[in-house]
């Protein structure tokens, strides 16, 4: 099916994705813009997963100081090239992630960075909470509680504060798909007066 240049342009303005990709998506979905957006999102997430292993050696260190000047965050957000590091959307993501850290107090970027002693202590607490349950159910319950702990305390697993339907990891993947480069959060530090 032939797609009009105006429709392609409209899809490009909505998504920020290249003209050829927009045209291909519209052709694949019979010219339906909503379906084309969904098609591009699915393709973008697949592409983002392929890029996940690529090295990130450029990026920015972003900062955020809360309006009361009692909470501050520094965060290192990395990408593959200096070109993307200077991109406004990349820098906005870095600022948003700093505010996320200020608001939600994560203890690690991802679950694999949570210290083993913290995981062991949480596991012990949860096991104690459900000790009166049947033995075959205890491990499942404890694992469920640990998963909830990671979702609350690991930055990438948290719901994004500006859009709770989206996780921070999915937010980053959507920008990876749009910019065409791997993006990773290396580290962060959150400081609060009196802590």
109-145 pLDDT, tens digit per residue, is: 998 899 999 989 998 888 888 888 887 888 888 889 9
- Distance, in Å, from the CA atom of 116 to the CA atom of 51, rounded to the nearest integer, reads 28
Residue 95 sits in the same domain as residue 18 = no
91 and 172 housed in the same domain: yes
Do residues 80 and 56 lie in contact, with contact meaning Cβ atoms separated by under 8 Å? yes
Compute CA distances 48 → 9, 22, 171, whole Å.
24, 17, 11
Number of structural domains in the chain: 3
Q: Same structural domain for residues 38 and 133?
A: no
- Domain residues for the domain of 122 are 115-152
Q: Dihedral angle at the C-alpha atoms of 172, 178, 180, 186, nearest 10 degrees?
A: -20
Record the pTM: 0.69
For residue 82, the model assigns a pLDDT of 86
Task: Identify whether residues 40 and 22 lie together within a single domain.
Answer: yes
- pLDDT confidence band for 52 (50 / 70 / 90): low
Q: Provide the pLDDT confidence category of residue 6 given band limits of 50, 70 and 90.
A: confident
Listed residue (60, 74, 69) closest to 183, CA to CA: 60
Q: Are residues 165 and 96 in the same domain?
A: yes
* Helix, strand, or coil (residue 78): strand
Assign residue 165 the CATH number of its domain: 3.30.479.20
Task: State the DSSP string of 124-180.
Answer: HHHHHHTTTS-HHHHHHHHHHHHHHHHHHHBGGGSEETTEEEEEHHHHHHHHHHHHT
Note whether 106 and 180 are same-domain residues.
yes
Residues paired with 188 in a beta bridge? 75
Give pLDDT, residue 96.
96
């Amino acid at each position: 099916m032939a797609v009009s240049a105006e429709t392609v342009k409209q899809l490009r303005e909505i998504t920020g994705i290249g003209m050829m990709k927009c045209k291909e998506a519209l052709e694949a979905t019979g010219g339906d813009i909503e379906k084309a957006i969904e098609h591009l999102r699915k393709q973008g997430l697949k592409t983002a997963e392929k890029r996940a292993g690529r090295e990130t050696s450029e990026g920015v260190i972003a900062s955020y100081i809360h309006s009361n000047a009692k909470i501050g965050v520094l965060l290192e957000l990395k990408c593959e090239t200096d070109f993307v590091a200077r991109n406004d959307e990349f820098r906005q993501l870095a600022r948003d992630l700093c505010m996320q850290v200020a608001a939600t107090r994560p203890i690690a970027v991802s679950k694999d960075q949570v210290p083993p002693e913290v995981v062991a202590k949480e596991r012990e607490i949860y096991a104690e909470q459900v000790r009166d349950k049947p033995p075959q159910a205890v491990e499942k319950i404890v694992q469920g509680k640990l998963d909830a702990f990671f979702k609350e305390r690991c930055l990438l697993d948290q719901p994004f504060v500006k859009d709770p339907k989206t996780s921070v990891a999915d937010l980053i993947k959507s920008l990876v798909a749009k910019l065409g480069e791997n993006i990773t959060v290396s580290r962060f530090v959150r400081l609060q007066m009196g802590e």
